Amino acid sequence: MLGLSSLGDWLGLLAASTFAAAQVSDSAAQGVAFGSVIAVRLLPALILGPVAGVFADRFDRRFTMVVCDLLRFLFFASIPAAALFTSDGALIIAWTAIATFVIETVAMIWTPAKEASVPNLLPRARLETANQLTLATTYGITPVAAGLVLIGLQWVVVGVFGKDGPRWAEPSNIALWFNALTFLATAATVFFGIREISGRRTAGVERKPGMIREFTQGWAFVSKTPLVRGLVLGIFGAFAGGGVVVGTAKFYAVSLSAGDAAFALLFAVLFLGLGVGIAAGPKLVGALSRRRWFGLSIILAAGSVLILALATHLAIAVGGALLVGVGAGMAFLSGTTLLGGEVADDMRGRAFAFVQMGTRVVLMLTISLSSVIVGAGGTRKINLGFYDFEVSSTRPLLAIAGVLGVLAGLFALRQMDDKRGVPLLADVLGSIRGRPLSPAEPKAAQGLFIVFEGGEGAGKSTQVGLLAEALRRIGRDVVVTHEPGATPIGVRIRGLVLDRPADGAEAVTPRAEALLYAADRAHHVASVVRPALSRGAVVISDRYVDSSLAYQGAGRTLPVDEVSWLSKWATGGLKPDLVVLLDLDPSAGLARAGRRGDADRLESESLAFHERVRYAFLDLASADPSRYLVLDATNPIDALAAGILQRVRHLIPEEESAIDTVLHDAAEVATALTGDELTDESDLADPSDKGTRV
C-alpha cells in the first residue's frame, strides 16, 4: 500500500511537471513551467507543515487516508482531463498548478496519518526495520519505478500511435491517468483491507494549548542546539544537492547530446542510489560512528555532484548520479537515526516534523529554482580565438552546488565528530572490517604511566623494583603492577596462558591466547591502572600492550593490526608515558630464565619464536622513538637503573632536584634491593637521544 502510494506521488510529480512543460515550446518558458509546478508543491508544506499532524490525530486515521487518496485520485485525473476541454496552454498550466496545490495539501495530511498508523500494524521491535524499509521505498524504489513507468509509457505510446498521436494519448497524459488510478487503488486497499490503521480515536483527549508556540519552541531548539543544527543543515544540504541534480537533469541531458530518455534515466538512477544508500548503507559502513558516517555521506553526495559537473559522457553522468543518491540516502538515514537517539523525547517529535517538512521544501525548492535558472541560462558559446565550444548553464550550477555541499559536509563532520584524534581513514577501513577505532579515554594529567618491556630474562622485574624504590624515596606514590595476573581475575587468566598443559591436554590456541591477554589487560587497566593514575600515582607495569604485539603478533604470527586493535579497545586507548625496552639476545635471555626453574609456555617456545619477538619490540621502538628508551640489558644493573631514572627525571620536572640526589647513590639503591655487589657505573643514557640504545 505504501509503495503504491509513493509510486503515485513521484509519478505525479514527474508527469505533472513534464505535462506543464509540454504546453509551451520556448526553452526558457519550459523551464519556468517545469519549475513552477514543482514550486506550487512547496506552499502546503510551508503553510500546513506545523499543523498537519493535528488533522491526523483528530479524526479516524483510516478514514482520513481514504478521503485523502480519493481527493488525490480526482485532482490528478483532472489535470489531463483539462487538456481535453481547452488548448490554451496558460490556462492548462494554471489549472495544473491549482490541482497540484490541492494534491500537496492533501498529502501533508495523509503523511502524518500514515506515520502514526505504522505502530498499529507492526510489533514494536520491528519499527526500526520498518522505517528503513519505508524510507527505501519512498525515496528509492518508487522514484525509480516512476521514471521507468514514464519511459515505458513513452515507448508504448510512440509504438501504438506514432509521434503524432492524439493529444489525450501523449505520454505525460497517460502517466497522469495511470497515476490517478494508483491512488484509487490505495484508497480501496486501506478501506477494505487494513482496518487496523484506524487505531484509537483521540476525541476527548486533553490537548496541549499553544500549538504555534510549541512549533516556535521546536524551531528555536533546532537552531540553538549545535548537534541538531548540524544534522538539520547536513540533511538539507544533501537533499539540496539531489534537488539540483533533478532540476537540471532535463537540460543536463541535452548538454550530453542525449534526449528525454536520458533525463528519465538520470532521474531514476539518482533515486535508485538513494534507495541503495538507505537500504544497504549500514552494512556498507559496518560499525562506523553514525556521526562520522553522516558527515562523510554528505561529502560523498556533494563530491558526486562535482563529478556530474565535469562529466562529458552519459555513462560517467549516470555513475555520478548514482553516487549522489547513495550519499544522500545514507545521510538521510544516519541523520534521522541520530535525531532519534540524541534528541530528548519532549522535543523529538517537533525535530522530526521540522526535518520532514524541511527536506520536502528544500528538495522541491532546489528542483524548482535550478530548473528555472538553467532554462533561462541556456547554453553559451565561448570563443578562445582558436576554438569555439559550448558550455551549458547546468555545469556551473552543479559545480557550485557540489562545492557548497562538500563544505557543509566538512562543517558537519567537524562539529559532530565523536572520535576526535582518531584517524578518519583508518577508522573507516577498520569499521568496514568490523574493528572500529576507539578514541582514547582521558588519563589523569597528574598521573605517570611507565611500562617495562623486553624478552625473557631481560631483567625487567629488577629494574621495576629499582625505579619504584627510587621514586618512593622522593615521596611519590608508586603502584607496581604486571601483566598478566595483577588481579584475582588476572591470576586465573595467567594460569590459562602461561601454565604448560599436562601431557595430552589441550593447549590454548593463538587467537584464544590473544583474547585472554586482552581480557586480563582490560580488567587490569580498569581496576588497577586508571584508578591509580586518577589519584596522581606513578604506575610502573611489567609488560603492557607491546608484549601482545610482539608475542602474539610476531611470535604467534597473528595479524598485528588485529592484535593492536584488540588491545586498544581493551585499554580504551590508554598509552604509557614511557616504555623502557630492555633489549637482550634471546639465547642469553632464555639461559637466564632457565636458571630460575621450570619454563612457562612462552619461555618454552623455540629460539626463532623469541627472535621474532625481539625484533618486533625493536620495530615498535623505532616507530615511536619519543616514547621509548631502549637499553642494552647486558649492561650492569646499576647503570641501567641510573639511565632509566635519568629519563624519568625529565617526565616529572617538579622532582628533578630530588631525583638528582637519588642518581648520585643509584648503585647503593640497587645493591640494597638485589643483595649483590654491583660493578661500577657505565655511561648513562643521553636523555636527548630518547630512542637510542645504550
Tell me, what CATH number does 93's domain have? 1.20.1250.20
Same domain for 550 and 590, yes or no, is yes
CB 441 within 8 A of CB 572: yes
Domain that residue 266 falls in: 210-439
Domain-embedded: residue 692: no
Domain-embedded: residue 530: yes
Same domain for 259 and 388, yes or no, is yes
Q: Which of 412, 439, 466 is the last residue of a domain?
A: 439
Q: Three-state DSSP class for 326?
A: helix
The pLDDT of residue 582 is above 90: yes
Same domain for 125 and 235, yes or no, is no
- The pLDDT tens digits for 272-308 are 888 788 888 888 887 788 888 888 999 998 898 888 8
Domain-embedded: residue 691: no
Same domain for 302 and 227, yes or no, is yes
Same domain for 537 and 475, yes or no, is yes
Q: Three-state DSSP class for 631?
A: strand
Q: Are strands 379-383 and 388-392 parallel, antiparallel or unpaired?
A: antiparallel
Domain-embedded: residue 458: yes
Strand partners, 480: 540
Same domain for 455 and 401, yes or no, is no
Q: Residue 539's pLDDT is what?
A: 94
Cα–Cα distance, 56 to 246 (Å, whole number):
31
Cα–Cα distance, 300 to 319 (Å, whole number):
13
| pLDDT greater at residue 276 or residue 435 | 276
Domain-embedded: residue 337: yes
Same domain for 185 and 215, yes or no, is no
- The pLDDT tens digits for 198-222 are 544 444 444 444 555 555 665 677 6
Q: Residue 629's pLDDT is what?
A: 93
Asked if residue 421 belongs to a known ligand binding site, the reply is: no
Cα–Cα distance, 411 to 36 (Å, whole number):
32
What does the mean pLDDT of the chain come to?
75
Asked if residue 457 belongs to a known ligand binding site, the reply is: yes
pLDDT band per the 50, 70, 90 thresholds, residue 675: very low
Same domain for 165 and 236, yes or no, is no
Q: Residue 680's pLDDT is what?
A: 37
Same domain for 197 and 49, yes or no, is yes
Cα–Cα distance, 190 to 69 (Å, whole number):
10
For residue 292, CA distances in Å to 233, 279, 411, 425, 673 come to 15, 18, 11, 11, 53
- Residue 581, number of CB atoms within 10 A of its CB: 25
Same domain for 466 and 611, yes or no, is yes
Same domain for 253 and 295, yes or no, is yes
pLDDT band per the 50, 70, 90 thresholds, residue 682: very low
Asked if residue 461 belongs to a known ligand binding site, the reply is: yes
Q: Which of 163, 178, 203 is the last residue of a domain?
A: 203
Asked if residue 49 belongs to a known ligand binding site, the reply is: no
Domain-embedded: residue 459: yes
Task: List, in order, residues 6 or more apart from 342 with CB less than 8 Å away.
Answer: 227, 228, 231
Domain-embedded: residue 688: no
Asked if residue 460 belongs to a known ligand binding site, the reply is: yes
The pLDDT of residue 607 is above 70: yes
Total number of domains constituting the chain: 3
Asked if residue 459 belongs to a known ligand binding site, the reply is: yes
Asked if residue 456 belongs to a known ligand binding site, the reply is: yes
Q: What is the crossing angle of helices 260-285 and 127-136, to 10°?
A: 160
pLDDT band per the 50, 70, 90 thresholds, residue 656: low
Same domain for 199 and 217, yes or no, is no
